[in-house]
Structure 1
Amino acid sequence: MSRAERHRLSSLHDVELATLAAAGDRQAFGELVRRHGSAVRGLLRRMGASASEADDLAQDAFISAFESISEFRGEGAFAAWVKKIAARACMRRMQRAKRLRDLTAAGADDPAPVAHPDPGGRMDLDEALKALTDGERLCVSLCYGAGLSHGEAAEALNLPLGTVKSHVKRGLDKLRARLAPEDQSVEGRRDNG
């Protein structure tokens, strides 16, 4: 691809690129992958996938997106659309892994790791997310990591809206408690603000 063609594609809006991709322009779809691949992999990591799993799932999501690009109507952001596809793929993989664990394990789950700020005062959101239940992590990741509304997350996860809202609230409460500085409790902050 020439420099002029790369520049032309990089100047187009996602909806224009999706339209070109639906007409068979693979380079236009490649530009969409270049723009949104990192964000999709980041979402998958926040949902609990390892780096290599996130790469595999992102690739699968973009292949699925390419195969169904004509279904993207531009009513929402392309990034949100492909993130929904990726989230569904991640959930299917998690469900398969859970079924396998259930078949092979004696039923005892390991307790969730506790996230603490490091001595330098930095907090590790990824570690804190690991302490959430799968449902809480998925809902928080979709609503805050992918920017989906509660309704969109409910649709993507095939869950009732109330369940998604409950998972988000509980997940955020747990994250606030885990990520709060040790000398400041969540209750103290509620009383003051």
Structure 2
Amino acid sequence: MPGSGHSRFASLHDVELCAYSATGERRAFGELVRRHGSAVRGVLRRMGAQGAEADDVAQDAFLTAFERIAEFRGEGTFAAWVKKIAARLYLRRLQRDRKLGALTAEAIEDEPETPRGDADAAIDLEEALKVLSATERLCVTMCFGAGLSHTEAAEALNLPLGTVKSHVKRGLEKLRARLAPEDGAVLEGRRGNG
């Protein structure tokens, strides 16, 4: 029965699914894709991949992960591992398409539009990321969304480590400013409830 295989794998931990996948069990790996596909595509979209491109790179990342599943040691989460693979594949695609040069050559002084002051508006991460320059968004997403270290991001982007750290720092500062309430009332209210 097709349903019994799915339910058998649906109850297993990612590490167990990886072990089954390493033996060639495609349904176990299918469960990993079902669990983490959306998160991988989300990281790619935050890095700048649009629609079908994010889907294509995510698919390539999962194919690569399946081919290399024996290399997964369980030292981190499977989700973090496949996100790193996806981020690296996307960067290779950018380099191949010569888009990366345009992103990294972007002027540091370029400031995005100032955030709206509507305290009642629900601001999500996707909207907040729009205040970052393309390079800042790429660096922040690689380090926090895909789980790469600053050193790994610097190597992948072929940028000096200090430059990546600067982009991440500036990006995080902009995100904090964008996501912080204007009058601080929400934060004060939370402190009072603790």
Partner SS state of residue 121, structure 2: coil
Tell me which amino acid in the other structure corresponds to 1:174.
K
CA change 1:27–1:156 in 2 (3 A) is: farther
How far apart, CA to CA, are the structure 1 residues paired with 2:154 and 2:181? 33
Q: Which residue of 1 aligns with 2:142?
A: 142
Distance apart, 1:124 and its partner CA: 4.4
Give runs of aligned pairs for residues 1-193 of structure 1, distance below 5 A.
Answer: 2-99=2-99, 112=112, 115-116=115-116, 121-146=121-146, 148=147, 151=149, 153-155=150-152, 158=155, 162-181=162-181
Q: Deviations over 1:16-53 (max 9, x none)?
A: 11111111111111011011001101111111111221
Say which is worse superposed, 57-66 or 154-163, in terms of deviation.
154-163
Q: Deviations over 1:83-115 (max 9, x none)?
A: 00001111122233444986xxxx99x985555
- Deviating above 6 A after TM superposition, structure 1's stretches of 4 or more consecutive aligned residues are none
Distance apart, 1:60 and its partner CA: 0.9
TM-score of the superposed pair, with normalisation by structure 1: 0.75
Once superposed, what is the RMSD of the aligned Cα atoms? 3.1
How far apart, CA to CA, are the structure 2 residues paired with 1:119 and 1:66? 45
Work out the number of aligned pairs and report it: 177
Q: Deviations over 1:127-177 (max 9, x none)?
A: 33233233321232233334x2x63x5325526654443222110112233
TM-score of the superposed pair, with normalisation by structure 2: 0.74
CA change 1:58–1:113 in 2 (3 A) is: farther
How far apart, CA to CA, are the structure 2 residues paired with 1:60 and 1:136? 25
CA change 1:125–1:39 in 2 (3 A) is: same
